[in-house]
Chains A and B, each alone.
Chain A
């Protein structure tokens, strides 16, 4: 219907809400006015109902600060009051009003400083019942504290478990210089999947294993632990790294895990002053051998990864090493470290062999730092390294 149609517009009846007294007294929030020094001069019925105070007890003699808990009084004096003095307004101040029976009313207070009709300064406050909001906030704080406690526990647990899987330092092997470096991915608050172990099998006969279990966390750690002690047991029975890898493959297939693993096993034996290294790889990056005045070369033959195929064949490669030779074992967290589109790659590892050739520790630490620098200190994958050098 349009106005031009000639029909009279029907009168809409709306209820009026212009009783200012009722608006003030029965507003859905408390109103409170004080003098500049906080003495209460006016209060509405809503606030009296909420607090259980009598009007006569509040108006004329008492100060707003006196209605608060002791903690609230301090906050009033150190925050609320200075803010009002300096800014003439304060908002969302959380306080507790004490009722005559001692119970508390959590409130949020908004205040402004204004002048009354006779020119005196008055502080006008709107007071909101914050009982449920405060309960919710307390619950949030409790949850936050619980989460922080739980995170601290998990971090300590991860670090403890990590230490049992990654020896803090490899043992000393007489006549051989050996060092390792390890850094879990990300912030280091989760157990990584990389592991290594260096142990003696017989006099002048040592074994080294570096592996990478798929995934991370507690489930990966269980598999890591299984592989670590299985390697030790198998190395006692079997001289050849290929046999040790075959047993690890069987162990993984029989175990109730879907996790795959890559590993490199090296057997170190000395005859007289000469060391031989026999190594085999299972789905693992081939170790690099650095020799004085020669470019670094990859040693070993690629083999299948562990925990997938029933029938596996691994090839052993034996090398005789001389004084000054260095062999570096590394996980794909090193070679596949990324910066943008760039990979860290084998060449940088070869370069590190030349740069840090002076000792196994220099090589392991230097290479770790280069990888971390490359990834701007945020490794996306675990980094595991073992450096073996003939002095």
Chain B
């Protein structure tokens, strides 16, 4: 867990999605450091977290991860939290906000999906067989992890890329935990939870996202009681990396609006 920014500011809690770690916010979080108390953390099993803290029972559903978010809020005594969740963490934030609405000022959902698998009358983008294939492909990349060496950093000064000490762990997770997190993430169905969210929310949708397509972003927008929706001109599932300026602008506009209301 990393706490930075304005110690007297409103807390802004960033949660990364499946795959990598808190460094996913490296291009976005610093923009809010002057006004907000910025809190970043790694989900259990990811980045610099302690793998021995993984409890298969607790993390058998996204509720366990939502409990972690609430535990962080309690431990740091955070109130009026602006929660920024990428990918599956958008749903983790939604679950946390349903359980403790008083903690949260607002939710920013980056590339959210309440269900990845198609269902009657619902397009999620994937079939069950697709997800099974993903789980198998995680097994194939196991060897890459276990023999992982820190890759050589290509010199480039115009962006604050990861230093060598972080590349050793970035996007590399304990394979058994990563596989179970993938199962929990891609087999979850949180469609009915969306309507229970009373917290004001922003849906940040990428224009060309193979994981969370536009129809899914619109579904989330329509299912939430109080939501704003911004379509970013961005390719891929990680606008926080591929379009950080547009991502920052959309979040800033959303939270600024919040201040004036």
B140 touches A94 (CB 8 A): yes
Which residues on the B side are within 8 Å of A86 (C-beta)? 20, 23, 26, 161-162, 167, 170, 241
Closest to A141 in B: B139
A71 B237 Cβ-Cβ under 8 A? no
Q: Of A74-82, A146-154, A240-248, A370-378, which stretch is located at the interface?
A: A74-82
Does B235 count as interface, using CB distance less than 8 angstroms? yes
A92 in complex: contacting residue of B144, B161, B210, CB < 8 Å: B144
- From 132 to 149 in chain B, residues with beta carbon under 8 angstroms from any chain A beta carbon are 132-141, 143-144
Q: Is B127 an interface residue (CB 8 A)?
A: yes
Please state if A83 and B130 are interface contacts (CB–CB under 8 Å).
no
- Out of B87, B156, B210, which one reaches A73, CB within 8 Å? B210
Chain A minimum-CB-distance residue to B209: A77
Residues of A within 8 A of B19 (CB): 77-79, 82
Is A89 a contact partner of B151 (Cβ separation < 8 A)? Answer: yes
Q: Which residues of B contact A89 (CB under 8 A)?
A: 151-154
Do the beta carbons of A88 and B20 come within 8 Å of each other? no
**Minimum distance in angstroms from B207 CB to a CB of chain A:** 11
A72→B134 CA distance, assembly (Å): 6
Quick one: closest A residue to B154, CB to CB? A88
Q: Which chain A residues lie closer than 8 Å to B26 at the CB level?
A: 86
A38 touches B235 (CB 8 A): yes
User: Taking the nearest CB of chain A, how far is it from the CB of B58, in angstroms?
Assistant: 22
Q: Which residues of A contact B24 (CB under 8 A)?
A: 82
Is B126 close to A, CB under 8 A?
yes
Q: How close is A366's CB to chain B, nearest CB, in angstroms?
A: 32
A91 within 8 A of B: yes
Q: In the complex, A70 Cα to B182 Cα: how many Å?
A: 14
Q: Please report which residues of chain A, range 76-104, place their CB below 8 angstroms from some CB of chain B when the two chains form the complex.
A: 76-79, 81-83, 85-96
Q: Mark B13-41, 1 if CB is under 8 A from A, else 0.
A: 00001111001101000000000000000
> How far apart sit A82 and B211, CA to CA, in the bound complex (Å)?
14
Interface residue B123 (Cβ < 8 Å from any Cβ of A):
no
Instruction: Across the interface, name the chain A residue whose C-beta is closest to B140.
Output: A94
Measured between beta carbons, the chain B residues less than 8 angstroms from A137 are: 140, 143
Which parts of B235-260 form the interface with A (CB within 8 Å)? 235-238, 241-242
Given contact pairs A77-B210, A78-B17, A96-B137, A71 touches B131 in the complex (Cβ within 8 A):
yes
Given contacts A79-B20, A81-B238, contact A134 B140 (CB under 8 A): yes
The answer on a CB contact under 8 Å between B87 and A112 is: no
Residue of B at shortest CB range from A110? Answer: B151
> Which residues of B lie under 8 Å from residue A328 when comparing CB positions?
none
- From A74, A75, A89, A91, residue with most partner B Cβ within 10 Å: A74
Select which of B136, B152, B242 is within 8 A of A71 by beta carbon.
B136
For B144, list chain A residues within 8 Å (CB). 91-94
Q: Is the CB of B140 within 8 A of A87?
A: no
Per-residue contact bits, chain B 203-229, to A (CB 8 Å; 1 contact, 0 not): 000001111000000000000000000
Q: Which residues of B contact A141 (CB under 8 A)?
A: 139
| Contact present for B130 and A71 (CB under 8 Å) | yes
The one of A63, A82, A95 that contacts B20, using a Cβ cutoff of 8 Å = A82
Cβ of A69 within 8 Å of any chain B Cβ, yes or no, is: yes
A387 touches B (CB below 8 Å) = no
Return A43 CB to nearest CB of chain B, in Å: 19
Q: A71-B134, A71-B135 are in contact. List 8 more A-B contacts (CB 8 A).
A: A36-B242, A65-B236, A70-B126, A70-B133, A71-B132, A83-B170, A85-B241, A89-B151
A-B contact pairs, 27 of them (CB 8 A): A70-B126, A70-B131, A71-B132, A71-B134, A71-B136, A71-B137, A72-B133, A73-B211, A77-B237, A78-B19, A78-B20, A79-B171, A83-B171, A85-B242, A86-B20, A86-B161, A86-B241, A87-B154, A88-B161, A89-B151, A94-B137, A94-B141, A94-B143, A112-B154, A113-B154, A113-B156, A137-B140
**8 nearest A-B pairs in the assembled complex, by CB-CB distance:** A78-B19, A70-B130, A71-B134, A71-B133, A37-B235, A77-B237, A85-B241, A94-B140
